[in-house]
Structure 1
Amino acid sequence: MEELAEAAGIPVRTLRFYRERRLLPPPRRDGRIAWYSESHLARLRTIAALLERGHTLGGIAELIAAWEKGRTLGGVAELLGVGDTLAAPWSDETPVVLTPQELAEYFGDDISPENLTAALEIGYISVDGENALHTSRRLLDVSAALVREGVPLAAVLAAGREVRCHVDAVAELFTQVVKTHVLGPLDDLPPEHVQRVSDTMQRLRPLAKDIVDAEMSLAMERRVRAEIEAWLLRQQSATRPGGGPAHSETRERPAPPGPPA
């Protein structure tokens, strides 16, 4: 419990209070030891985010209960006071449930406790009973393809962590631009305007994806061209005598005649 509270950045007494209010599921018991998982930490972060948005603990408890009972996203949105207007997902990613055997088939010997821990920390996978839930079919397929090409899974996960930081920054930039110049202030937004916000974001959704896709394509083109040019220069240097840089050839001119004897 102390370790979980430290990871979540809250006092232990707050964690106990959440458990008493049934906001947090009980831990897995192993004798006298109570084990908390990534799902408990994710729940605490969700609670913190909802509190920052002004929701009460009672409302959060009702929301969590509805989620655990399998209510639809529209029902959860209704509890949050926005009806079905925000029910449309922004992402098209499809989660994938994998058994341990299927996970091993994707990544082979690269499946290790260290790599599984890294994947959990990034958010690529979560525990679903005895199985693993990968957050994205596309990311799963790309990661497996890179491993098949010879990139170690640890390097794939390290790159994924870096990419996550960069795309979060891009998403924050685009969101602030839209909020400032299109939507305006969202504080104390009247309920009747929620639909307008949802419709606007859905119209802008493909624009954001096109910007990232175009910029990524151009950036890859620049980087690949630079790598090829550097390689060609190295090859050209290696074929010269001594491997040194080339000098422009000049024709030796005869010395001018000396004074008459």
Structure 2
Amino acid sequence: MADYRLSELATASGVSARNVRAYRERGLLDPPRREGRAAFYDDHHLAQLRTINELLGKGYTSAHILEFFESMRRGHNLADILGLQQALFGETVHPRERDGTGNVDPTDADVRRLVDRGLAQEDGGELQWRDARTADILAGVEDPRDYLKTMLRVSDGTAALLDDVAVAVVDALRAGVVERFGPKYVPMPDDMAELEQMVRDYRKLATRVIAVHLNTSLRRRLVQAMSDYTTDIIASEDDAASL
């Protein structure tokens, strides 16, 4: 689950830092996690802010929203809420520490761009990849610079498309939950275990469905690309021989 400082949460949610503080003071927003004097928010707070925005946009007052949140807090114990939150956002991703990242220069411009995209991070001056398999691949490459550029091209070319995919997936998951519990139904404590398991399973199934479709499309496109590449080589050799 991502961590946000106040300014980062404001940017991600579209709610000003001033309003975030106001929501927190009124009890609309749950308190952040404290580490010394630093305050850290997470995806749960981001979801809360988006819910607040949506309800305000539909004409609800702050008092109504607070009453709704308070009833939710009274109706579900902390374990229920944390269990559903984990099902929604998935397990916390811990970067993989490997000696193999030593062949990548953390100051390289492409590496900095990958860090900005959340594919890697630095911890105490050490570069860590967010996905263990990325570390495995790059650890076996003597000079990974071409690989890093390819990763950036993939990221640049797919980020917006994958966000559209995510919207479609969330809509499908929401429809599945509504089909089970009914529209506008607020799950009761006895329903939370089933809802948590359903969300977790749906999330995993959606990931696998997308992976199968993507691998099938990639295989088809790669076969076509290699055919085109080979054809171009043969054609260029024929052209050279005719000169």
Give the TM-score, by structure 2 length: 0.58
**2:56 corresponding residue in structure 1:** none
The answer as to 2:179 corresponding to 1:180 is no
Structure 2 alignment gaps of length 5 or more: 53-64
Q: Select which of 224, 227, 232 maps to 2:225.
A: 227
**1:122 corresponding residue in structure 2:** 117
CA distance in 2 between counterparts of 1:235 and 1:24 reads 59
Aligned residues: 212
Answer yes or no: is the 8 Å Cα contact 1:110–1:152 preserved in 2: no
Answer yes or no: is the 8 Å Cα contact 2:110–2:148 preserved in 1: yes
Deviates more, 1:144-153 or 1:203-212: 144-153
Q: Select which of 213, 216, 220 maps to 2:214.
A: 216
Question: Once the 2 structures are TM-superposed, how far is the Cα of residue 16 of structure 1 from its aligned partner?
Answer: 6.7
Answer yes or no: is the 8 Å Cα contact 1:143–1:156 preserved in 2: no
**1:53 corresponding residue in structure 2:** 51
Q: Decide whether aligned partners of structure 1 residues 219 and 161 sit closer, same or farther in structure 2, where only a CA change above 3 A counts.
A: same
The letter of the residue matching 1:47 is H
**1:204 corresponding residue in structure 2:** 202
Structure 1 alignment gaps of length 5 or more: 29-35, 64-76, 245-261
Answer yes or no: is the 8 Å Cα contact 1:95–1:134 preserved in 2: no
CA distance in 2 between counterparts of 1:168 and 1:158 reads 16
Answer yes or no: is the 8 Å Cα contact 1:96–1:135 preserved in 2: yes
Q: String of CA shifts for 1:145-187, please: whole Å, max 9, x gaps.
A: 5785652524423423544443333233233123225643564
CA RMSD of the aligned region, Å? Answer: 4.8
Q: Select which of 235, 238, 242 maps to 1:237.
A: 235
Structure number with the bigger relative contact order (C-alpha 8 A, sep ≥ 6) is 2
**1:82 corresponding residue in structure 2:** 81
Deviates more, 1:187-196 or 1:12-21: 12-21
Answer yes or no: is the 8 Å Cα contact 1:126–1:132 preserved in 2: yes
CA distance in 2 between counterparts of 1:83 and 1:241 reads 66
Which one has the largest radius of gyration?
A: 1
**1:160 corresponding residue in structure 2:** 155
Give the TM-score, by structure 1 length: 0.55
Aligned positions of 1:238-257 closer than 5 A:
238-240=236-238
Answer yes or no: is the 8 Å Cα contact 2:10–2:20 preserved in 1: no
CA distance in 1 between counterparts of 2:161 and 2:95 reads 24
CA distance in 2 between counterparts of 1:18 and 1:97 reads 36
